[in-house]
Amino acid sequence: MPRALISGITGQDGLYLAELLLAKGYVVYGLMRGQNNPKRELVEQTVPGVHLVTGDLTDISSILRALEASQPDEFYNLGAISFVAYSWENARITSDVTGLGVLNALEALRLFSPTDPKRVRFYQASSSEMFGKVQTVPQTEETLLWPRSPYGVAKVYGHYMTINYRESYGMHASSGILFNHESPRRGPEFVTRKITQAVARISLGMQDGIMLGNLEARRDWGFAGDYVEAMWRMLQMDEADDYVISTNETHSIREFLELAFSEVGIDDWSHLVSFDPSFTRPAEVDLLIGDSTKAQSRLGWAPTVDFPTLVSLMVKHDVEEQERLLVRAG
Ligand code: NAP
Ligand code: F7E
Protein backbone atom coordinates (compact mmCIF):
# COMPACT_ATOMS: atom_id res chain seq x y z
CA MET A 1 0.00 0.00 0.00
CA PRO A 2 1.35 3.49 -0.80
CA ARG A 3 2.17 5.65 2.21
CA ALA A 4 1.76 9.41 2.64
CA LEU A 5 2.71 12.06 5.19
CA ILE A 6 0.64 15.26 5.32
CA SER A 7 1.68 18.37 7.22
CA GLY A 8 -1.24 20.68 7.99
CA ILE A 9 -3.51 17.70 8.67
CA THR A 10 -5.82 19.78 10.93
CA GLY A 11 -6.48 22.32 8.16
CA GLN A 12 -9.15 22.43 5.46
CA ASP A 13 -6.99 20.82 2.76
CA GLY A 14 -5.34 18.33 5.12
CA LEU A 15 -8.73 16.78 5.94
CA TYR A 16 -9.88 16.58 2.30
CA LEU A 17 -6.54 15.18 1.15
CA ALA A 18 -6.51 12.57 3.93
CA GLU A 19 -10.01 11.45 2.91
CA LEU A 20 -8.93 11.18 -0.72
CA LEU A 21 -5.77 9.20 0.04
CA LEU A 22 -7.50 6.86 2.49
CA ALA A 23 -10.15 6.13 -0.16
CA LYS A 24 -7.32 5.27 -2.56
CA GLY A 25 -5.91 2.75 -0.08
CA TYR A 26 -3.00 4.80 1.24
CA VAL A 27 -1.56 4.48 4.72
CA VAL A 28 -1.81 8.11 5.86
CA TYR A 29 0.18 9.91 8.54
CA GLY A 30 -0.57 13.45 9.66
CA LEU A 31 1.96 15.83 11.19
CA MET A 32 0.21 17.79 13.93
CA ARG A 33 1.77 20.45 16.12
CA GLY A 34 1.44 20.94 19.86
CA GLN A 35 1.09 18.42 22.65
CA ASN A 36 -2.59 19.18 23.09
CA ASN A 37 -3.81 20.45 19.71
CA PRO A 38 -7.48 21.55 20.00
CA LYS A 39 -8.16 20.12 16.52
CA ARG A 40 -6.98 16.58 17.38
CA GLU A 41 -10.53 15.45 18.08
CA LEU A 42 -11.79 16.89 14.77
CA VAL A 43 -9.11 14.98 12.86
CA GLU A 44 -9.76 11.77 14.79
CA GLN A 45 -13.49 12.01 14.09
CA THR A 46 -13.26 13.10 10.43
CA VAL A 47 -10.45 10.82 9.26
CA PRO A 48 -10.12 8.11 11.92
CA GLY A 49 -7.75 6.10 9.69
CA VAL A 50 -5.01 8.73 9.91
CA HIS A 51 -2.00 8.08 12.15
CA LEU A 52 -1.05 11.27 13.97
CA VAL A 53 2.53 12.21 14.72
CA THR A 54 3.47 15.38 16.55
CA GLY A 55 5.85 17.86 14.98
CA ASP A 56 6.31 21.41 13.85
CA LEU A 57 7.62 22.81 10.57
CA THR A 58 9.96 25.11 12.50
CA ASP A 59 11.62 22.09 14.15
CA ILE A 60 13.52 20.07 11.56
CA SER A 61 14.24 17.12 13.86
CA SER A 62 10.50 16.68 14.47
CA ILE A 63 9.91 16.50 10.69
CA LEU A 64 12.69 13.92 10.41
CA ARG A 65 11.09 11.86 13.19
CA ALA A 66 7.75 12.03 11.36
CA LEU A 67 9.43 10.80 8.16
CA GLU A 68 11.04 7.92 10.07
CA ALA A 69 7.73 6.99 11.68
CA SER A 70 5.68 7.20 8.48
CA GLN A 71 8.20 5.95 5.86
CA PRO A 72 6.21 7.81 3.19
CA ASP A 73 6.26 7.52 -0.58
CA GLU A 74 4.67 10.98 -0.77
CA PHE A 75 5.00 14.02 1.51
CA TYR A 76 2.38 16.76 1.11
CA ASN A 77 3.55 19.98 2.76
CA LEU A 78 0.29 21.79 3.51
CA GLY A 79 1.30 23.23 6.90
CA ALA A 80 1.52 27.03 6.99
CA ILE A 81 0.36 30.14 8.73
CA SER A 82 -2.15 30.78 5.97
CA PHE A 83 -4.18 33.84 6.98
CA VAL A 84 -2.94 36.75 4.90
CA ALA A 85 -4.23 39.52 7.21
CA TYR A 86 -2.46 37.95 10.21
CA SER A 87 0.81 37.88 8.30
CA TRP A 88 1.34 41.66 8.56
CA GLU A 89 0.98 41.59 12.34
CA ASN A 90 3.10 38.46 12.66
CA ALA A 91 5.49 38.72 9.74
CA ARG A 92 8.39 36.97 11.45
CA ILE A 93 6.51 33.86 12.55
CA THR A 94 4.79 33.71 9.15
CA SER A 95 8.21 33.78 7.48
CA ASP A 96 9.52 31.09 9.86
CA VAL A 97 6.61 28.69 9.30
CA THR A 98 5.32 29.43 5.79
CA GLY A 99 8.74 30.19 4.30
CA LEU A 100 11.57 28.55 6.24
CA GLY A 101 9.28 25.64 7.17
CA VAL A 102 9.49 24.56 3.52
CA LEU A 103 13.29 24.57 3.68
CA ASN A 104 13.10 22.47 6.84
CA ALA A 105 10.81 19.98 5.10
CA LEU A 106 13.11 19.73 2.07
CA GLU A 107 16.24 19.38 4.21
CA ALA A 108 14.57 16.75 6.40
CA LEU A 109 13.79 14.81 3.23
CA ARG A 110 17.45 14.99 2.17
CA LEU A 111 18.56 13.72 5.55
CA PHE A 112 15.92 10.98 5.45
CA SER A 113 16.98 9.71 2.03
CA PRO A 114 20.55 10.90 1.37
CA THR A 115 21.31 8.52 -1.51
CA ASP A 116 17.94 8.44 -3.33
CA PRO A 117 16.56 11.97 -3.85
CA LYS A 118 13.44 10.64 -5.59
CA ARG A 119 12.51 8.16 -2.86
CA VAL A 120 9.82 10.47 -1.44
CA ARG A 121 7.76 12.62 -3.79
CA PHE A 122 7.20 16.11 -2.37
CA TYR A 123 4.25 18.48 -2.82
CA GLN A 124 4.53 22.17 -1.87
CA ALA A 125 1.36 24.18 -1.26
CA SER A 126 2.20 27.32 -3.23
CA SER A 127 -0.40 30.03 -3.63
CA SER A 128 -1.94 32.53 -6.04
CA GLU A 129 -1.15 35.10 -3.34
CA MET A 130 2.38 35.00 -4.86
CA PHE A 131 0.97 36.85 -7.93
CA GLY A 132 -0.15 39.73 -5.68
CA LYS A 133 -0.01 42.85 -7.83
CA VAL A 134 -0.72 40.83 -10.94
CA GLN A 135 1.59 41.29 -13.92
CA THR A 136 -0.56 39.36 -16.42
CA VAL A 137 -4.25 38.56 -16.65
CA PRO A 138 -4.95 35.67 -16.34
CA GLN A 139 -2.09 34.31 -14.23
CA THR A 140 -0.16 31.27 -15.45
CA GLU A 141 2.94 29.34 -14.35
CA GLU A 142 4.99 31.92 -16.32
CA THR A 143 3.56 35.06 -14.68
CA LEU A 144 6.09 37.17 -12.79
CA LEU A 145 5.56 36.88 -9.03
CA TRP A 146 4.86 40.15 -7.15
CA PRO A 147 3.69 39.26 -3.64
CA ARG A 148 1.80 41.90 -1.63
CA SER A 149 1.89 40.45 1.90
CA PRO A 150 4.42 38.83 4.23
CA TYR A 151 2.48 35.61 3.62
CA GLY A 152 2.90 35.99 -0.14
CA VAL A 153 6.62 36.69 0.24
CA ALA A 154 7.04 33.60 2.44
CA LYS A 155 5.19 31.48 -0.15
CA VAL A 156 7.48 32.79 -2.90
CA TYR A 157 10.47 31.67 -0.83
CA GLY A 158 8.99 28.19 -0.35
CA HIS A 159 8.05 28.00 -4.03
CA TYR A 160 11.52 28.81 -5.32
CA MET A 161 13.19 26.63 -2.67
CA THR A 162 11.09 23.71 -3.93
CA ILE A 163 12.17 24.40 -7.53
CA ASN A 164 15.76 24.83 -6.37
CA TYR A 165 15.82 21.45 -4.57
CA ARG A 166 14.31 19.79 -7.65
CA GLU A 167 16.99 21.33 -9.87
CA SER A 168 19.91 20.98 -7.43
CA TYR A 169 19.35 17.48 -6.07
CA GLY A 170 16.97 15.88 -8.57
CA MET A 171 14.18 15.61 -6.03
CA HIS A 172 10.66 14.80 -7.24
CA ALA A 173 9.37 18.09 -5.80
CA SER A 174 6.27 19.76 -7.28
CA SER A 175 4.51 23.02 -6.48
CA GLY A 176 0.80 23.52 -6.86
CA ILE A 177 0.03 27.22 -7.34
CA LEU A 178 -3.48 26.97 -5.96
CA PHE A 179 -5.96 29.79 -6.27
CA ASN A 180 -8.45 30.35 -3.42
CA HIS A 181 -10.39 27.22 -2.58
CA GLU A 182 -13.17 27.01 -0.07
CA SER A 183 -15.56 24.56 1.56
CA PRO A 184 -17.66 24.12 4.70
CA ARG A 185 -14.32 23.26 6.37
CA ARG A 186 -12.83 26.68 5.58
CA GLY A 187 -11.64 28.59 8.66
CA PRO A 188 -14.14 31.28 9.77
CA GLU A 189 -11.50 34.02 9.49
CA PHE A 190 -11.52 33.79 5.67
CA VAL A 191 -14.04 35.99 3.89
CA THR A 192 -16.16 33.25 2.27
CA ARG A 193 -16.82 31.32 5.47
CA LYS A 194 -17.20 34.54 7.46
CA ILE A 195 -19.99 35.49 5.03
CA THR A 196 -21.72 32.10 4.88
CA GLN A 197 -21.74 31.74 8.68
CA ALA A 198 -23.07 35.28 9.08
CA VAL A 199 -25.73 34.85 6.39
CA ALA A 200 -26.90 31.63 8.05
CA ARG A 201 -27.11 33.32 11.46
CA ILE A 202 -28.86 36.42 10.06
CA SER A 203 -31.44 34.21 8.33
CA LEU A 204 -32.13 32.46 11.64
CA GLY A 205 -32.38 35.72 13.63
CA MET A 206 -29.18 34.98 15.54
CA GLN A 207 -27.14 37.96 14.23
CA ASP A 208 -28.03 41.47 13.01
CA GLY A 209 -25.43 42.11 10.32
CA ILE A 210 -21.87 41.62 9.16
CA MET A 211 -18.81 43.90 9.16
CA LEU A 212 -16.46 43.53 6.19
CA GLY A 213 -13.56 45.30 4.48
CA ASN A 214 -13.01 45.67 0.74
CA LEU A 215 -15.95 44.22 -1.22
CA GLU A 216 -14.44 44.93 -4.65
CA ALA A 217 -11.48 42.52 -4.47
CA ARG A 218 -11.85 39.67 -6.96
CA ARG A 219 -10.85 36.07 -6.44
CA ASP A 220 -10.82 32.85 -8.47
CA TRP A 221 -12.68 30.62 -6.01
CA GLY A 222 -12.89 26.83 -6.34
CA PHE A 223 -13.91 23.91 -4.15
CA ALA A 224 -11.21 22.45 -1.85
CA GLY A 225 -12.28 18.85 -2.56
CA ASP A 226 -11.42 19.35 -6.25
CA TYR A 227 -8.08 20.96 -5.46
CA VAL A 228 -6.65 18.13 -3.32
CA GLU A 229 -7.28 15.79 -6.28
CA ALA A 230 -4.90 18.01 -8.30
CA MET A 231 -2.23 17.72 -5.57
CA TRP A 232 -2.38 13.94 -5.77
CA ARG A 233 -2.28 13.93 -9.57
CA MET A 234 0.89 16.05 -9.54
CA LEU A 235 2.71 13.44 -7.49
CA GLN A 236 1.65 10.61 -9.84
CA MET A 237 3.48 12.24 -12.78
CA ASP A 238 6.84 10.80 -13.87
CA GLU A 239 8.40 14.28 -13.76
CA ALA A 240 7.89 16.85 -11.02
CA ASP A 241 6.67 20.27 -12.16
CA ASP A 242 4.67 23.36 -11.15
CA TYR A 243 0.98 23.79 -11.94
CA VAL A 244 -1.61 26.54 -11.60
CA ILE A 245 -4.85 25.15 -10.16
CA SER A 246 -7.83 27.44 -10.70
CA THR A 247 -11.36 27.64 -12.09
CA ASN A 248 -10.38 30.41 -14.58
CA GLU A 249 -13.27 32.62 -13.38
CA THR A 250 -13.14 35.63 -11.11
CA HIS A 251 -15.80 37.07 -8.80
CA SER A 252 -15.88 39.92 -6.29
CA ILE A 253 -16.68 39.66 -2.59
CA ARG A 254 -19.84 41.63 -3.46
CA GLU A 255 -20.93 38.90 -5.89
CA PHE A 256 -20.27 36.27 -3.22
CA LEU A 257 -22.48 38.24 -0.81
CA GLU A 258 -25.22 38.56 -3.43
CA LEU A 259 -25.40 34.81 -4.01
CA ALA A 260 -25.07 33.92 -0.32
CA PHE A 261 -27.95 36.18 0.74
CA SER A 262 -30.14 35.03 -2.14
CA GLU A 263 -29.61 31.42 -1.00
CA VAL A 264 -31.58 32.28 2.19
CA GLY A 265 -34.16 34.38 0.31
CA ILE A 266 -32.75 37.83 1.19
CA ASP A 267 -32.62 40.04 -1.92
CA ASP A 268 -32.01 43.43 -0.31
CA TRP A 269 -28.96 42.95 1.89
CA SER A 270 -27.21 46.34 1.69
CA HIS A 271 -28.43 47.40 5.17
CA LEU A 272 -27.05 44.15 6.64
CA VAL A 273 -23.42 44.75 5.58
CA SER A 274 -21.24 47.50 7.13
CA PHE A 275 -17.77 48.63 6.22
CA ASP A 276 -15.12 48.14 8.90
CA PRO A 277 -11.72 49.60 7.90
CA SER A 278 -9.95 47.22 10.29
CA PHE A 279 -10.65 44.45 7.75
CA THR A 280 -8.83 46.27 4.95
CA ARG A 281 -5.19 45.40 4.27
CA PRO A 282 -2.00 47.50 4.04
CA ALA A 283 -1.61 46.25 0.44
CA GLU A 284 -4.51 44.55 -1.31
CA VAL A 285 -4.51 41.87 -3.98
CA ASP A 286 -7.21 43.36 -6.21
CA LEU A 287 -7.66 40.73 -8.90
CA LEU A 288 -6.86 37.05 -9.18
CA ILE A 289 -7.87 34.89 -12.11
CA GLY A 290 -5.95 31.78 -13.04
CA ASP A 291 -5.34 29.88 -16.23
CA SER A 292 -5.10 26.18 -15.37
CA THR A 293 -4.68 24.99 -18.99
CA LYS A 294 -1.41 23.21 -18.15
CA ALA A 295 -2.97 21.22 -15.29
CA GLN A 296 -6.06 20.47 -17.34
CA SER A 297 -4.05 19.13 -20.29
CA ARG A 298 -1.19 17.37 -18.48
CA LEU A 299 -2.86 16.17 -15.27
CA GLY A 300 -6.31 15.64 -16.77
CA TRP A 301 -7.62 17.70 -13.87
CA ALA A 302 -10.68 19.98 -14.01
CA PRO A 303 -12.81 21.70 -11.37
CA THR A 304 -16.22 20.10 -10.83
CA VAL A 305 -17.90 22.71 -8.59
CA ASP A 306 -18.82 26.08 -10.10
CA PHE A 307 -19.09 29.36 -8.22
CA PRO A 308 -22.86 29.42 -7.54
CA THR A 309 -22.76 25.78 -6.40
CA LEU A 310 -19.84 26.51 -4.08
CA VAL A 311 -21.64 29.43 -2.42
CA SER A 312 -24.83 27.42 -2.16
CA LEU A 313 -23.24 24.36 -0.55
CA MET A 314 -21.40 26.51 2.00
CA VAL A 315 -24.53 28.47 2.95
CA LYS A 316 -26.64 25.31 3.21
CA HIS A 317 -24.03 23.68 5.44
CA ASP A 318 -23.87 26.72 7.71
CA VAL A 319 -27.65 27.05 7.99
CA GLU A 320 -27.84 23.41 9.13
CA GLU A 321 -24.94 23.87 11.53
CA GLN A 322 -26.42 27.02 13.08
CA GLU A 323 -29.85 25.36 13.39
CA ARG A 324 -28.22 22.51 15.34
CA LEU A 325 -26.57 25.06 17.65
CA LEU A 326 -29.94 26.78 18.18
CA VAL A 327 -31.60 23.48 19.09
CA ARG A 328 -28.77 22.59 21.48
CA ALA A 329 -29.03 26.01 23.17
CA GLY A 330 -32.72 25.26 23.77
P1 NAP B 1 -5.41 26.03 6.94
O2 NAP B 1 -6.80 25.49 7.05
O3 NAP B 1 -5.10 27.37 7.53
O4 NAP B 1 -4.42 24.95 7.57
C5 NAP B 1 -3.08 25.26 7.86
C6 NAP B 1 -2.45 24.08 8.55
O7 NAP B 1 -1.09 24.38 8.86
C8 NAP B 1 -3.12 23.70 9.89
O9 NAP B 1 -3.20 22.29 9.96
C10 NAP B 1 -2.13 24.22 10.91
O11 NAP B 1 -2.13 23.49 12.12
C12 NAP B 1 -0.81 23.95 10.18
N13 NAP B 1 0.31 24.67 10.77
C14 NAP B 1 0.36 25.97 11.19
N15 NAP B 1 1.56 26.23 11.73
C16 NAP B 1 2.28 25.09 11.68
C17 NAP B 1 3.57 24.72 12.10
N18 NAP B 1 4.40 25.60 12.71
N19 NAP B 1 4.00 23.46 11.90
C20 NAP B 1 3.17 22.54 11.31
N21 NAP B 1 1.93 22.82 10.89
C22 NAP B 1 1.49 24.08 11.06
O23 NAP B 1 -4.95 26.09 5.41
P24 NAP B 1 -5.59 25.36 4.13
O25 NAP B 1 -6.62 26.26 3.56
O26 NAP B 1 -5.89 23.96 4.47
O27 NAP B 1 -4.35 25.43 3.13
C28 NAP B 1 -3.38 24.39 3.07
C29 NAP B 1 -2.10 24.95 2.50
O30 NAP B 1 -2.35 25.48 1.21
C31 NAP B 1 -1.46 26.08 3.28
O32 NAP B 1 -0.07 25.97 3.13
C33 NAP B 1 -1.96 27.33 2.59
O34 NAP B 1 -1.05 28.39 2.81
C35 NAP B 1 -1.96 26.85 1.16
N36 NAP B 1 -2.92 27.49 0.27
C37 NAP B 1 -4.23 27.57 0.60
C38 NAP B 1 -5.14 28.12 -0.29
C39 NAP B 1 -6.61 28.19 0.02
O40 NAP B 1 -7.32 28.92 -0.68
N41 NAP B 1 -7.10 27.43 0.97
C42 NAP B 1 -4.69 28.57 -1.54
C43 NAP B 1 -3.35 28.44 -1.85
C44 NAP B 1 -2.47 27.88 -0.95
P45 NAP B 1 -2.85 24.01 13.49
O46 NAP B 1 -4.25 23.49 13.45
O47 NAP B 1 -2.03 23.40 14.54
O48 NAP B 1 -2.79 25.51 13.48
O1 F7E C 1 -9.60 37.33 1.70
C2 F7E C 1 -11.29 40.62 1.33
C3 F7E C 1 -9.79 40.66 1.55
O4 F7E C 1 -8.85 36.21 3.78
C5 F7E C 1 -10.13 37.43 0.41
C6 F7E C 1 -5.80 32.11 1.90
O7 F7E C 1 -6.27 30.80 1.82
O8 F7E C 1 -6.30 32.52 -0.40
C9 F7E C 1 -6.55 32.98 0.91
O10 F7E C 1 -6.11 34.32 1.05
C11 F7E C 1 -10.43 38.87 0.07
C12 F7E C 1 -9.31 39.88 0.34
O13 F7E C 1 -8.39 35.15 1.50
C14 F7E C 1 -12.91 40.82 4.55
O15 F7E C 1 -9.31 42.00 1.62
C16 F7E C 1 -13.03 41.86 2.66
O17 F7E C 1 -9.20 40.73 -0.75
O18 F7E C 1 -10.67 35.14 2.39
P19 F7E C 1 -9.43 35.93 2.44
P20 F7E C 1 -7.05 35.58 0.77
O21 F7E C 1 -6.42 36.74 1.42
O22 F7E C 1 -7.35 35.70 -0.68
C23 F7E C 1 -4.91 32.52 -0.80
C24 F7E C 1 -4.85 31.96 -2.20
C25 F7E C 1 -4.05 31.85 0.17
O26 F7E C 1 -3.04 31.23 -0.18
C27 F7E C 1 -4.31 32.13 1.61
O28 F7E C 1 -3.68 31.16 2.44
O29 F7E C 1 -11.53 39.30 0.88
N30 F7E C 1 -12.08 40.89 2.54
N31 F7E C 1 -13.55 41.84 3.90
C32 F7E C 1 -11.98 40.22 3.69
N33 F7E C 1 -11.21 39.18 4.05
C34 F7E C 1 -11.37 38.69 5.30
N35 F7E C 1 -10.62 37.62 5.68
N36 F7E C 1 -12.25 39.25 6.19
C37 F7E C 1 -13.04 40.32 5.86
O38 F7E C 1 -13.83 40.80 6.69
Residue 330 predicted with pLDDT over 90: no
**Which of these is catalytic: 151, 157, 165, 243?**
151
Domain spans of the chain, in order of start? 3-181+221-245, 188-219+250-288+306-329
Query: From the CA of 29, how far away is ligand 1's center (Å)?
Result: 16
- Ligand 1 atom nearest the C-alpha of 77 is 32
Nearest residue (by CA) to ligand 2, atom 5, is 191
pLDDT band at 34 (very low <50, low <70, confident <90, very high): confident
Atom 2 of ligand 1, nearest CA residue = 11
Among protein residues, the one with the nearest Cα to ligand 2's atom 22 is 180
Residue 86 annotated in active site? no
Say how far apart CA 231 and CA 176 lie, in whole Å: 7
Banded pLDDT at 253 (limits 50, 70, 90): very high
* pLDDT, tens only, 270-322: 999 999 999 999 999 999 999 999 999 999 999 999 999 999 999 999 999 99
Ligand 2 pocket member 180 (CB < 6 A): yes
For 38, 207, 210, 222, 318, the CA distances from 321, given in Å and listed in that order, are 20, 15, 18, 22, 5
Instruction: Determine whether the shortest distance from the Cβ of 257 to ligand 2 is under 6 A.
Output: no
Active-site residue (options: 129, 165, 182, 203): 129
For ligand 1, atom 7, the nearest C-alpha belongs to 79
Return phi, psi of residue 280, to 5°. Answer: -85, 165
User: What rounded mean pLDDT belongs to the chain?
Assistant: 98
CATH number of 188-219+250-288+306-329: 3.90.25.10
Give the C-alpha distances (Å, rounded to integers) separating 24 from 9, 19, 37, 95, 210.
17, 9, 27, 34, 41
> Residue 199 in contact with residue 318, Cβ under 8 Å?
yes
pLDDT in tens, 71-102: 999 999 999 999 999 999 999 999 999 999 99
- 105 ligand 2 Cβ < 6 A: no
Closest ligand 1 atom, CA of 79? 7
In the reported structure, the alpha carbon of residue 146 is separated from the centroid of ligand 1 by a whole-number distance in angstroms of 21
With contact defined as beta carbons under 8 Å apart, do 150 and 91 qualify?
yes
pLDDT digits (tens, 9 = 90+) for 13-32: 999 999 999 999 999 999 99
Output the CATH code of domain 3-181+221-245. 3.40.50.720
151 belongs to the catalytic site: yes
How many Cα atoms within 13 Å fall on the side-chain side of residue 297?
3
- Confirm whether 129 is a catalytic residue: yes
Whether 108 shows a pLDDT value over 90: the answer reads yes
Condensed to tens digits (0 to 9), the pLDDT of residues 182-241 reads 999 999 999 999 999 999 999 999 999 999 999 999 999 999 999 999 999 999 999 999
Task: Say whether 188-219+250-288+306-329 and 3-181+221-245 share the same fold.
Answer: no
**118 has pLDDT over 90:** yes
DSSP assignment of 16-49: HHHHHHHHTT-EEEEEE-STT-TTHHHHHHH-TT
Q: Rounded to the nearest whole angstrom, what is the distance from the C-alpha of residue 283 to the centroid of ligand 2?
A: 12
Q: Ligand 1 mean position to 187 CA, how many Å?
A: 10
Distance in angstroms (rounded) separating the CA atoms of residues 27 and 49: 8
pLDDT at residue 4 in the model: 99
